[in-house]
Structure 1
Amino acid sequence: MNSSIKVSWSENNRILDVQYSEFSGGERHVQIGLLPEQPIQTVNIQANIRSSNDLMDYLLLENALFQHNPDIAINLEIPYLPYARQDRVCAVGQAFSMQLMAEMLRLRPKKSVTVWDCHSSVGSQLLDAINIESWQIIGNSPELVDVLQDTNTVLICPDKGAKPRSEAIARAFDLKQIVFCEKKRDPVSGKILETTVLTDDLSGKTAVITDDICDGGMTFIGIAQALRKIGCAHIVLYVTHGIFSKGLSVFEGLIDRIYTTDSFSHNMSQSSIKLTVINFKNINFKK
């Protein structure tokens, strides 16, 4: 079974056996084993879509389930929504990638779609999805909540786009102070040229930076460097989706601790930085 797509039969929480393979011409193939004689009425699917093959595997699986029962109800959970960062057309000649992703995932009706901390409301709205927000996820880590609510802690909002997320976290945990950051990018390359923390002194403070995604980490490296210059004693990073494409070693000497979820797998031996993973199995969400 492809570990990136898990299917359970909700009547008895049985995991369906699904096998994926590839023909020599490159085409993907799916086979569901041991289907019951009576049509399955509802299935729960968690799909971690990381590649074009993963997406095709999911679409083939969905088609196979509807071949089994045209009236089947699907509860689909996509922890990290692919293309959520491509939520608009930035230049002439580009695709609206998130719109296309949503159209493919809406080929057949779903009972529900759930995503974790979607990059922007565009993706969740296009899918009509339930968005599990970052403050709900953080609430399932008592250790991180304690850090946030410590009187010596300040919440760091990394940029304008993260403002609603940071404000929601502050409301949820009754935090009194948010420190905002600004960054300048090269309009051609997209490279971050400068990061500014909009306060003069955080001497002795613990700073908790929160955001939805960490890919290569340049945004957070720049913020951490700026925070160290104004006296921060400890820096913590929370990101819902830790891609960490450059590894954790890029944060050495800047960020002391990282919290993330299991929406991506992680190499825990990448560096000396302590990485805490919030596991979503049997998680309870505050509303």
Structure 2
Amino acid sequence: MTGPIEIRASHPGWDNQWVTLDFGHYPAGEPYVKDVPYGADRGFDLLVRTADIGVLNEALMFVDAMKWRHGDIPVELHLPHFPGARQDRLNADGDLLFTAKSVANMINQRGFRVVYVVDPHSEVLTALVDNVRVVTALDCLVSCTDAQIKGRWAGIIAPDGGAEKRALQVATYLNIPLYQAWKNRDVATGKIAGFGCQEIPPSDKPYLVVDDLCDGGGTFMGLAGVVADGVTLDLYVSHGLFTKGIETLALAFSEIYTTDSIVLVPADAVCIEVARHLKEIQR
């Protein structure tokens, strides 16, 4: 089974295939690595596919050890899902952590030549991470053939204001309309009180909801509940965490598309494989 951390030697002339980097753990939990691919001592790319900051930290420890052994060798970090990306500000109350900046600092300390990320939650991340290159939601969808995506949907739906920019990029590329949905919040509590959406005309084609991430799926189920009967919905998210499973979502959405930014992709989702090809598909 493929693990969450993979490595490939980057020096020209070596075998540049991705292979799993096997981490073991001592009884008390400390990680260890005993084998690396031939040629990695000249430079390597590291692919980390996880939502677990602890797993990312183990990968960074490996980078430290390789640089201490072999000097300042060139290393690229391919981090399709950026753990903590949603915690992208200092809040006046509530959650005290600015996790996106903490993780960015951990990464910046290693001096990566390039850091590839897929469809980060907000543009804050691009300002926090050194040498970052962003693979957009559109890049991921375009990695499919035009025959697979052009003419497939009647329109694109942004589920809230934060998703509007990425959804607009997809709608513009496909030359189809963009529709805006929104969340209504209780001003006193800050909790979501309901959902709304522009009127969506009936069509014999589905509409594609586009967003960066699905955690529990509440936003998407709320949106599906306010769309008129007879409108078929598909869902695309760059990062399918699906922490409450995918079964309920699959009842509301005809097709659910996600990438392999996380190692485990549910069988009911259509997986767009991009993680091992970020350098090639980034436009």
- Equivalent residue number for residue 166 of structure 2: 165
8 Å Cα contact 1:8/1:45 also seen in 2: yes
Cα drift, residue 189 of structure 1: 7.0
| Aligned with 1:124 (options 123, 126, 131) | 126
Q: Structure 1 residues 193, 72: CA separation in 2 closer, same or farther (over 3 Å shift)?
A: same
Structure 2 unmatched ranges of 5 or more = none
Aligned length: 273
Kept after mapping to 1: 8 A contact 2:246/2:266 = no
Is 2:209–2:236's contact at 8 Å kept on the other side of the alignment? yes
Q: CA deviation at 1:246?
A: 1.3
Question: Higher strand proportion, which one?
Answer: 1
| Per-residue deviation, 1:33 | 4.5
Q: Structure 1 unaligned runs (5+)?
A: 269-273
Superposed CA offset, 1:71-100 (max 9, x none): 201111001000001001223470211111
Tell me by how many angstroms 1:278 deviates.
Answer: 0.7
Aligned 1:54-69 pairs, distance under 5 A: 54-69=55-70
Q: 1:50 to 1:251 in 2, by over 3 A?
A: closer
The verdict on how the C-alpha distance between 1:144 and 1:17 changes in structure 2, with shifts beyond 3 A counting, is closer
Alpha-carbon distance between aligned partners in 1 of 2:20 and 2:266, rounded to the nearest angstrom: 28
- Partners of 1:226 and 1:17 lie apart in 2 by 44
Q: Is the 8 A contact 1:138 1:144 kept in 2?
A: no
Shift of the 34–227 alpha-carbon distance from structure 1 to 2, 3 Å rule, reads closer
Instruction: Say yes or no: does 1:26 pair with 2:29.
Output: yes
Structure 1 SS opposite 2:96: coil
Distance 1:278 1:15, change over 3 A: closer
Q: Deviations over 1:176-226 (max 9, x none)?
A: x11101102356876532010122x52235211001101111111111111
CA distance in 1, matches of 2:188, 2:51: 27
Deviation (angstroms), 1:25: 3.3
Give the distance between the partners of 1:132 and 1:2, measured in 2 at CA: 22
Moved more, 77-86 or 275-284: 275-284
Does 1:279 find its partner at 2:273? yes
CA contact (8 A) 1:9 1:44 kept: yes
Structure 1 residue 141: deviation in Å? Answer: 2.3
CA distance in 1, matches of 2:100, 2:7: 24
Give the counterpart of 2:259 among 255, 258, 261. 261
Letter aligned with residue 266 of structure 2: N
Structure 2 residue aligned with 1:44: 45
The answer for the alignment partner of 2:97 in structure 1 is 95
Q: Sequence identity of aligned pairs in percent?
A: 26
Measured at CA, do residues 22 and 186 of structure 1 come closer, stay the same or move farther in structure 2, by a change above 3 Å? farther
Change (3 A) 1:164 1:17: closer
Letter in 1 for 2:173: A
Matches of 2:4 and 2:32, distance apart in 1: 15
Q: Name the CA shift for 1:2/1:203 in 2 (closer, same or farther; >3 Å).
A: closer
Q: Distance in 2 between matches of 1:146 and 1:71?
A: 45
Q: 1:104 to 1:202 in 2, by over 3 A?
A: same
Match of 1:247 in 2: 245
RMSD: 2.6
Q: 1:145 to 1:98 in 2, by over 3 A?
A: same
Partner of 2:202: 203
- Give the TM-score, by structure 2 length: 0.86
User: For each residue in 1:3-52, what CA deviation from the matched residue of structure 2 results, as whole angstroms up to 9, or x when unmatched?
Assistant: 1111111121165774423333333333344766xx83321110123324
Whole-angstrom distance in 2 between the partners of 1:188 and 1:86: 22
